[in-house]
Structure 1
Amino acid sequence: MAQNNKFFEKHIKQWLKQFRVTGNTVSLVDEGVISLTTLAVALKAERPVLIELPGYAMGEKVKAEMELWAKTLGIGKRIEILPDGTSCGKKLAEAEIPRATLLNTVLHAPPDILLASSAAVMSPAPPPEKMRSSELTLKKGMELPLGRLAEMLVEMDYDDEPEVTQPGEFSRRGGLIDIFSPAQNYPARIEYWGDTIDSIRKFTPETQSSVREISEYKLIMRSGSEEEGESDGKSDFTDYVRLFQPMILRVFPEESRKSLERFFDPPVLDKWEKLKRDPLWSNAVQLLDVAESAKLPPDSAMQCPVFPSSRHILHMVPQGAEENLSELVRQISSNLIRQLADESYKISIAGRTEGDLLSLRDWLRNEGLDSLESIECIQAEVPCGIFLPDENFALFSEYELFSSPRRLLSHKTIVPEIEDDTGEQVHDTIEEAVSADMEEGDYAVHINYGICIYHGLKTIHEKDRSYEALDLEFDNDSRVYVPIWQAHCVSRYIGSQKGTVRLSRIGSSKWNKIKSEAAGSVRSLALDMLRIHAMRCQAKGCSFPQDDLQQRLFEKSFPFTETRDQLRAAEEIKRDMESPRPMDRLLCGDVGYGKTEVAMRAIFKCVMSGKQAAILVPTTVLAQQHYYNFLERFAEYPFIIETLSRFKTKGEQAMIVERMNEGKVDIVIGTHRLLQSDVKFKNLGLVVVDEEQRFGVVHKEKLKNLRTTVDVLTMTATPIPRTLYFSMSGMRDLSTIMSAPVQRLPVHTVVSQYDDSIVAAAITRELQRGGQVYYLHNRVGSIDETAERLKALVPQAKFGIGHGQMNETELEDVMSSFIEGRTDVLVCTTIIESGLDIPNANTIIIERADRFGLAELYQLRGRVGRWSRQAYAYLLLPRNSILTGNVRKRIAAMRKYTHLGSGFKLALRDLEIRGAGNILGAEQSGHINAIGFNLYCQLLRTVTSRLKGVEVSLKKECNVFIDFVDYSLTTVEGKIPAAFPEEYINSPRLRLDAYRRVAMINDLTVLESYRQELQDRFGRLPRAAENLFVCAGIRIIGILANLDSISCADDKIILERAHEILKPDGKIPRLPSGTNPDSKLRFMKMLLEKIFLKK
């Protein structure tokens, strides 16, 4: 075998160097070679190149392939793609900002290669002079009144938000303004001194914390799109093209014409046709397919010598032989390589990873090709294989050899090593979700007074002082105004349905009695849970070995970039597997966040240790898709993978069960069929349960028994409250994947009454950008009629129908057709609910959304948005319908929780809507309803910790009273204020959150970190806010010293612990008299630090 890269580098680069375009037409065999051909043209051009294609989807594919070729061949070209601007005459919301960014780039520094669909070229755009005049670069020391800057941002179409998290937003707070310009990939915090910009800092949207100071920040218009009504009708992207005068390549212009004719009004098509008379476009090079080339006079088109070998190989596969496609492709590839070698071709075979190269060399050895000097194996990432007859050279990729195409979605990058974590952060995150989002009118729980209704913040005036308070309504219309600095005592009530909630009565002992009864019941439940937990701890499970080289190579071969959370979750699961006790871990992550890859790493560890693994899924369709995904992911390894579901005949099922019992199946993926009594394993090591909430009570009992003998990993996106409950109580190990994959966007959710025009526009828009649509109609009896109605609305679309009552072969054909892109719209029932992963399907339309539960709606919405493209979910309701309270809440929750990673909050909302119900049985649900889910979980965690020998209580507190400090908004004579003024944090929600955070922090280092965070976000802390932090520091010192209270009156500091007054050094500490209150407060903190912290 030849030395690596000996042929590849020489022949590919030689061909690129010699490639010349003669005339204005190039004939292509297939679109698979557009990327390399256009790259060859661009290398010869002495100016930028504009590639116009029929659709955005083709543009994304070509761009990804061009970037791969450029990276592999070491070609430094900047490649960009222009998003489409409009659809059906309306702006595409997701395209406004990226279009603005690219239009601005084109004005100043056009990319070397710019791809754009014909729709993107013809979509209305702001005139170039308008884009230029709207630019503004902010610089340190620049004089520009803050009010005028805010006005300018509004004129540039920026959104005024409480917090800046997305491009095109700004937020003004006192002398600060946060801005996220589309021209930048990060937001900036601008701090003023008078009318002068004093500093500009880059900050992180997730934490709202500054990263570093920068010298300037460029602002541009927010939107690069205009609707037909907004536009002057004359300006579009062609005006920008004339400015930078690129060389133009038009790929498949006839397809572009058909696309414009299909999706745009006739005037747009006429304007596009007239471009042929424009000097710039009349000299465009046209890339034609075989059909278009055949219409031209002989020899008028240059024949491109590049064509993908995969097409030739696959064309050799006999009809009807698809069942053994993979083996046939390998055999044909082997014969073809041998034939080419005989014809003196030099042959390169590319693999992405070291593991791929090992597999390729093994395959060549098995085929008897490894001794040929004309063959080399190279580690390179290429989109497809090619033939270069003039060079006597052929390149094969993995697709040609193994029939396993890869998605060109993202590429591997280096991720920092993960740090060890205790898991406490997970509990804090969940409890934060429980307490957050309290809005006016919500039921709430005060830990000391009971259940109430929260009526927002109110300013209380008392004599010569005023302060903000939470307005709480209790029984008999009694009101309690809880000072805002005690906000941590109040949380949102989650329990039974609102109509049955009973408010607590102030002054009654009933609330304490209810809490006591709940604590007793919790103890009983905890003992039962601990019994199961103890059985697991005592059981001898399999202790898997630590990671070896094969495990590391397998993980390294993952073609996408893992998120930090994915890496952490995988490490936590593998650590559990290495422990001798059986694993019982819940892996919770939003839909499409990469849970399956994490599970695959655990399964690999299991099987490589000689054990069997089972994957239990709720639906046959999901079992089949997992099967295909597992075959692809484990293609390099000799694992025997089978499915057990109704897609198999009874005879096939019996054979698989027998082989499982004999240990001849390594991995089996199945539905509840796996839990039937005839299924036995020879050496089962790991069970992965996907979406446990979809299984019935009987199946769950069988799973509970499994948990005491083998490792069990449960995966879920929206945990049912029971599952979430056990996780929060600490009786079940929990891993979370909270961070979204790179470039993932939240699904845009539209709630509307059914209307034909909305449905037609939604489908048409998705088809225009080359995507696919799910249309969910959950009635088998009328699904055919619905499909016919949709065909009449969108006649240009290709429709398929799928539901659970179809026979196995028919359903499999329908799903395969949709997965492979032969069908545009899949009219289906909820068979698509779990786990389907089709990146090109990015619109889902759900009929009668009012008939679905919250978890179902969440799962259905999760079928789209699994790529970097903006996805849409339409929740359609009956016309003129009046929704019941629970239905209205479910729909409102779906509309509200659209951000990435919202599964936890939706699970909590689902608990609130449904009530505790049968979650934990009647008795426990009664206690949850009585005291609220948050307090119940705190009690349960405390009891279980104590039963396990860990002494824990509800959050330890130390009461602080200082006679010269007033937690108010006004200055009282002789006292100093300790508060967050409204003019400092003007958003009530953020102000309430700030008080809650300060009150809940029990660590001095964390407190100082939060003080710096507020100073960064809102500017220099006013004296009142600084005083509040000093008081919080005194409280924390008291907690660390295990004090019950600290009080200061007449300069005496009284320290109480267990009903005793402490006297350090035999006397009561005192403050120096005659000093001002500010100095006294800071001296008091220093004195307490010296006494208890020895500082």
Structure 2
Amino acid sequence: MSAVFAPSQPVAHTPPGTHIVLGNCHGAGVALYASELSAARGADDAKGFLIVIAPDVAAAETLEREIAFFAGTDAVRLYADPESLPYDAFNPHPDLVSRRLALLADMLDERCRIVVLAAPTLLYRLPPPDYIRSLSLRVSRGDEYPLEALSARLSQAGYERVAQVTQHGEMAVRGSLIDLYPMGHANPVRVDFFGDEIESLREFDADTQRSGAELEALATLPARDFPTDEDAIRYFRGRYRERFEGNPADSLIYTEVSAGRFPGGIDNYLPLFFESTVSFWDYVPTGSTVLALTDVASTLEQVWADATLRYEQYRHDIERPALQPDELFCDVQTSVNGMAPLATTVLSARKVPDNTANLAADRAPAVMINTHAEAPVAELVSFLGQYKGRVLFAAESAGRREMLLELLRNHDLTVATVAGWADFLASDARLCVVIAPLAAGVVLSDAGLCIIAENELFGARPARRRRRKAKDPEAILQDLSDLREGSPVVHEAYGVGRYRGLSHLDFDGTPADFLTLEYDGGDKLHVPVASLHLISRYTGASPDLAPLHRLGTDQWARARQKAAEQIRDVAADLLDLYATREARSGRSMRINPADYEQFAAGFPFELTEDQAYAIDATLADLRSPQSMDRLVCGDVGFGKTEVALRAAFVAAMSGAQVTLLAPTTLLAQQHYQTFSDRLADWPLTVEVLSRFRTVRESREVVAGLRSGKVDIVIGTHKLLQDDVKFNDLGLVIVDEEHRFGVRHKEALKNLRAEVDMLTLTATPIPRTLNMALGELRELSLITTPPETRLAIKTFVTQWQTPMIREACQREMKRGGQIYFVHNRVQDIEKQAARLQDIVPEANIRIAHGQMREQELEQIMLDFAHRRFHILVCTSIIESGIDIPSANTIIINRADHFGLAQLHQLRGRVGRSHHKAFAYLIAPPDNLITADAAKRLDAIEAMEDLGAGFVLATHDLEIRGAGELLGEQQTGQLQQIGFSLYTELLGRAVAAIRRGDTPDLDATRQRDCEVNMHLPALLPEDYMPDIQMRLVHYKRIASAADDDALRELQVELIDRFGLLPDPTRNLFRQARLRLLAEPLGLRKVEATAGGIVFTFGDKPGIDTSVLVRLIGQEPDRYGFDRKQRFIVTADLSDADRRFTTVEAILNDWHRDHDASAASV
């Protein structure tokens, strides 16, 4: 072992079966001891690995982070707790199952050094090791392995067949491809076959479905921790009937498993899938060492008692009968006895009687810095004067490190900066500071070393979290992926109808797919899939109240006409606001590439693709001499702040002042801390102006802004007061603009004409959303969650005391915290007392906006520091500080909240890798308004991360968008739908900008129909899922140019295999439409006998060209009685039919271009 513990404790050589107790190990000494014990085992080539048992989940997670600091991140693995209560009706998230199975497989192969787990996790029964071994598989590029055989093998291993692979344990088979998301892999993998040979293995993006890195080999694990094939189901049914009395058909579990489905809570029946199950210790090889930080037996006894109590609650449930605790869990004795053959050390903070068994790892000294005292660092200076050894200060972040360095240097203490533990040991400096996630320090007297954690200097701080693609905003509005039968849609030429499905019809003997729409009076319209660019989702009024139009009348034409008249006026008014900005020459910000790269490197997480796009777009805006007005829309916790940070850095380093406006003091404080941390190493002054600042401090900040001494200021609406003057304001960043009042929004509106504006929001208000889509504000969407973040499981339910208690207990069991939102200050204390009766073991505090500022701040900081379990609060937390340990939120009377509020509140949880739960408590539907019920349905349906933008469109559907552009617009918007309204507004704005009169009465230019009388579709056997076909038909029809079509082709081949002939025809037809539309053609029809071209009112070519062709070859060309241009030719060959039409259209384009050039 290293010099720190070796002189007195050569524990690495403890023989198997020996149990010893070591005392006096405090704080970071525990993680250091574990790291050195593992290193000593490695030096001795010991078999197995080190198992560290923590008392609970929170302690295990903390210990994993601390060990990683001493031993390196690759050295330690966390065996994740299932994060559920005994007999829960939830299944663990597939990502969590993936991590557990991957670690179990690595334990079997001894590919671990240190495994950390919480003691309660030892009780869970596990599948036998042979199960994992038998269903694991390794394939390599070039292997002979028929697709059908691999597909069958994966099905046997539990992989679920789906249309599109998005999460662990799923697979999709399409043509010569298998997509699968293997357990234990960070990304899904695409297996491409050539005959029976595996031609390629490529990772792909679960969101975009586009292929990425090539792999030489792929190892897969079973998709679940129990078998799911037919034999396993038969075995389960037999065991179930043996175990439970009564009619099994009455049991939901039995009937669902019999049908091959595995419902929530199926893990509670894992023993019924196996002849016998095993304990955690069956995965631990001989020669391993145990380091226990708790009395394992006592801890497990308490967990066993809780499981027994819950068994009594659930044992009589007919639908979900419960196995007895000793069937579902390993008993306490078995779990404890598993350690018996192994060398086991119990590590305790208390001293043990035998002094030789006490470590020299004492508690860190009490050296709290009191910034309000006359001598703030007196205790620290006193300690350093007495202590002759070396001292390492552990800071939470770069900003905290710089603050600590400044404080110590101001008291004549010389402190060196080191990169890690090894650097500290190698350094000669007596005082050092490092960035490290240590919760508590330690004095290592034998080694003459002392570690002091930031908590011990300034009080506890919340632990930082580690986090590991781009969407077209218009596509989200027009996307048909969530279209369901009965949903209202808008056809540009015929108006609002209801979607009635995708129909496969024979049209003139040619098979084709059509979108079937039903209009007022029951009339049906079959829309060719090639015309789906004319279709969009209807959003405006509630879907149930969408105004259906009647075919064969002028209803739709009148509605469009009326809307068009007002849209012209609205567009002109909106442009007035932005004309000033466009006329003014803005500031072009300078970016020093070296400085910027160095600053960007300080971001401790990987940028998502969306974040990268948003940052690139924002920096391009700042470089441009035009004023910026960009809206960054992304769900809470998706990384909008990093966009703001980089923009602020560039602006401030260019000499401009930056202000960030936050809606609440707490959020302003969090932003201030974040900005201070990231900018600590740069010559920039960051200040905060909020009600938490004293009058004197506020005056100093205002003076600094006026003089230019302050570069970046963060604050609330106080920054908009008349007395706040800037020396050279260049960038204004607004967080959650919709939460500011009318007066403050007006002030922001005036600022827009003068400076660069960057607005951050999770759910844009309709007005903001519309301006973004109307091209008056640039929009960046961040819809990709951080890699470790899981969707929030949302329940809309009535008040049920047992459910409330269970939700709180589940969260507390995994070391987490709970928000309980009660939005009535007058009886919030009564509600807290009621909750205390329901969960007596919980520590509960209250927070609301009528409390004194300092008291409120202290409560929120205490919650962030995990000093109590449940925060009963009002919606003051809607835009609050980031608390990764809070992963359950209960919202009382959720029917009283707006959709944006509910989305924001729900976003307070799920800020880490734990699965989060949101309970929306409301009375039955018959006791709440119809709009409230729709809001709750919308928020419950949108569990997906990144749903904020989609929710904003739901907000429009529910509220009718009266706010959008003034009440007078509501009628027109509801008549034609938000999507078309937005498009027409965009066209009007573009026309007025060009100096043209907006022509909004005609349908869009792209309305040419191309019919080649050949099958042009996505065959069902090529793309089986109907929704997926619908989405891709829409994407092909809406492709803007040839490049977009080529990209789509590549994607389809990538995902589904080589294109069948009908799909190739579909693409070629779409390409012909792109050629035909600019020529003013309304229809192109080609048959075996020739081609008919129908021109619109404004042909895009000179008709003399057509007359010349007729004169040259009258037998081949001519006009019919309807003035359609006819081409007579033998086009019975399909390929010749396409090439002939394409050649004619290309010739006409050349003639058109030549005519235009000669003018």
TM range (shorter): 0.7 to 0.9
What's the counterpart of residue 4 of structure 1?
none
1:490-539: CA deviation from partner (whole Å, max 9, x where unpaired): 11111123454322121223322332332232221122222211112334
1:248-295: CA deviation from partner (whole Å, max 9, x where unpaired): 1111236844763675438679923454444636741111122xx4xx
| 2:38 equivalent among 27, 36, 42 | 42
What's the counterpart of residue 3 of structure 1?
none
Bigger mean CA offset, 603-612 vs 805-814: 603-612
| 1:260 equivalent among 283, 294, 303 | 303
The percent identity for this pair of structures is 33
| 1:1012 equivalent among 1031, 1038, 1050 | 1050
What's the counterpart of residue 247 of structure 1?
289
Paired with 1:627 and 1:474, the residues of 2 have a C-alpha distance of 55
The residue identity in structure 2 corresponding to 1:957 is R
Query: SS of 2:957's equivalent?
Result: helix
Query: SS of 1:87's equivalent?
Result: coil
Paired with 2:1134 and 2:577, the residues of 1 have a C-alpha distance of 56
The reply to whether residue 286 of structure 1 matches residue 346 of structure 2 is yes
| 1:26 equivalent among 10, 18, 22 | 22
Query: SS of 1:222's equivalent?
Result: coil
Cα offset, 1:376, TM superposition: 6.9
1:30-81: CA deviation from partner (whole Å, max 9, x where unpaired): 2433222111111122131111111222222222222232339xxx636343
Query: SS of 1:284's equivalent?
Result: strand
Paired with 1:1093 and 1:486, the residues of 2 have a C-alpha distance of 23
The reply to whether residue 1029 of structure 1 matches residue 1085 of structure 2 is no
Paired with 1:555 and 1:14, the residues of 2 have a C-alpha distance of 41
What's the counterpart of residue 970 of structure 1?
none
Contact 2:657 2:708 in 1 (8 A): yes
What's the counterpart of residue 808 of structure 2?
763
Cα offset, 1:244, TM superposition: 5.6
Paired with 1:641 and 1:396, the residues of 2 have a C-alpha distance of 27
What's the counterpart of residue 376 of structure 2?
328
Paired with 1:348 and 1:774, the residues of 2 have a C-alpha distance of 36
CA RMSD in angstroms comes to 4.1
Query: SS of 2:39's equivalent?
Result: helix
What's the counterpart of residue 53 of structure 1?
54
Seen in structure 2, the aligned counterparts of structure 1 residues 1063 and 237 have a Cα distance that, compared at 3 Å, is: farther
1:332-367: CA deviation from partner (whole Å, max 9, x where unpaired): 555655655xx3x45667889999999888777655
Q: Report the TM-score when normalising by structure 2.
A: 0.81
Seen in structure 2, the aligned counterparts of structure 1 residues 41 and 620 have a Cα distance that, compared at 3 Å, is: same
Query: SS of 2:914's equivalent?
Result: coil
Contact 2:437 2:463 in 1 (8 A): no
What is the 5 A alignment of 1:395-474? 407-410=463-466, 426-433=472-479, 436-460=481-505, 464=509, 466-474=511-519
Paired with 2:860 and 2:400, the residues of 1 have a C-alpha distance of 30
What is the 5 A alignment of 1:28-107? 28-45=24-41, 46=46, 47-71=48-72, 77=75, 79-84=77-82, 86-90=84-88, 92-94=91-93, 95-107=96-108
What's the counterpart of residue 869 of structure 2?
824
Paired with 1:580 and 1:445, the residues of 2 have a C-alpha distance of 39
What's the counterpart of residue 832 of structure 2?
787
| 1:959 equivalent among 1004, 1008, 1025 | 1008
Cα offset, 1:773, TM superposition: 0.8
Contact 2:720 2:747 in 1 (8 A): yes
What is the 5 A alignment of 1:497-512? 497-498=542-543, 500-512=545-557
Contact 1:752 1:876 in 2 (8 A): yes
Cα offset, 1:446, TM superposition: 0.4
Contact 1:263 1:768 in 2 (8 A): no
What's the counterpart of residue 302 of structure 1?
358
Seen in structure 2, the aligned counterparts of structure 1 residues 361 and 817 have a Cα distance that, compared at 3 Å, is: closer
Query: SS of 1:795's equivalent?
Result: coil
Paired with 2:616 and 2:651, the residues of 1 have a C-alpha distance of 14
Seen in structure 2, the aligned counterparts of structure 1 residues 80 and 994 have a Cα distance that, compared at 3 Å, is: same
Query: SS of 1:230's equivalent?
Result: helix
Query: SS of 2:267's equivalent?
Result: coil
| 1:490 equivalent among 532, 535, 540 | 535
Paired with 1:1006 and 1:578, the residues of 2 have a C-alpha distance of 28
The residue identity in structure 1 corresponding to 2:1140 is M
The residue identity in structure 2 corresponding to 1:603 is A
Paired with 2:207 and 2:1043, the residues of 1 have a C-alpha distance of 21
Query: SS of 2:446's equivalent?
Result: helix
| 2:661 equivalent among 592, 616, 619 | 616
What is the 5 A alignment of 1:598-997? 598-608=643-653, 612-636=657-681, 643-647=688-692, 667-878=712-923, 884-949=929-994, 956-957=1005-1006, 959-962=1008-1011, 965-966=1012-1013, 976-997=1014-1035
Bigger mean CA offset, 458-467 vs 687-696: 458-467
Query: SS of 2:347's equivalent?
Result: strand
Contact 1:845 1:875 in 2 (8 A): yes
Paired with 1:854 and 1:902, the residues of 2 have a C-alpha distance of 12
1:517-569: CA deviation from partner (whole Å, max 9, x where unpaired): 32232221122222211112334655544347665544433333333433443
The reply to whether residue 238 of structure 1 matches residue 276 of structure 2 is no
Consecutive unaligned residues of structure 1, counting only runs of 5 or more, are 1-8, 967-975
Seen in structure 2, the aligned counterparts of structure 1 residues 685 and 1051 have a Cα distance that, compared at 3 Å, is: closer
Seen in structure 2, the aligned counterparts of structure 1 residues 153 and 956 have a Cα distance that, compared at 3 Å, is: same
Paired with 2:692 and 2:1021, the residues of 1 have a C-alpha distance of 65
Seen in structure 2, the aligned counterparts of structure 1 residues 756 and 363 have a Cα distance that, compared at 3 Å, is: closer
Seen in structure 2, the aligned counterparts of structure 1 residues 183 and 336 have a Cα distance that, compared at 3 Å, is: same
Paired with 1:128 and 1:795, the residues of 2 have a C-alpha distance of 41
Seen in structure 2, the aligned counterparts of structure 1 residues 200 and 715 have a Cα distance that, compared at 3 Å, is: closer
Query: SS of 1:82's equivalent?
Result: coil
Contact 1:619 1:834 in 2 (8 A): yes
Seen in structure 2, the aligned counterparts of structure 1 residues 567 and 263 have a Cα distance that, compared at 3 Å, is: farther
Bigger mean CA offset, 279-288 vs 994-1003: 279-288
Cα offset, 1:150, TM superposition: 6.0
Contact 1:984 1:1018 in 2 (8 A): yes
Seen in structure 2, the aligned counterparts of structure 1 residues 462 and 682 have a Cα distance that, compared at 3 Å, is: closer
The residue identity in structure 2 corresponding to 1:675 is L
What's the counterpart of residue 159 of structure 1?
160
Cα offset, 1:658, TM superposition: 6.5
What's the counterpart of residue 331 of structure 2?
271
Seen in structure 2, the aligned counterparts of structure 1 residues 156 and 339 have a Cα distance that, compared at 3 Å, is: same
Query: SS of 2:271's equivalent?
Result: coil
Consecutive unaligned residues of structure 2, counting only runs of 5 or more, are 227-265, 310-324, 417-426, 1118-1126, 1152-1159
What is the 5 A alignment of 1:341-380? 343=388, 345=389, 366-370=410-414, 374-375=428-429
Contact 2:53 2:292 in 1 (8 A): yes
Contact 1:1064 1:1091 in 2 (8 A): no
Bigger mean CA offset, 197-206 vs 118-127: 197-206
What's the counterpart of residue 130 of structure 2?
129
How many aligned positions are there?
A: 1045
What's the counterpart of residue 1051 of structure 1?
1090
Contact 1:745 1:870 in 2 (8 A): yes
What's the counterpart of residue 1083 of structure 1?
1139
Paired with 2:8 and 2:1006, the residues of 1 have a C-alpha distance of 73
Paired with 1:15 and 1:610, the residues of 2 have a C-alpha distance of 57
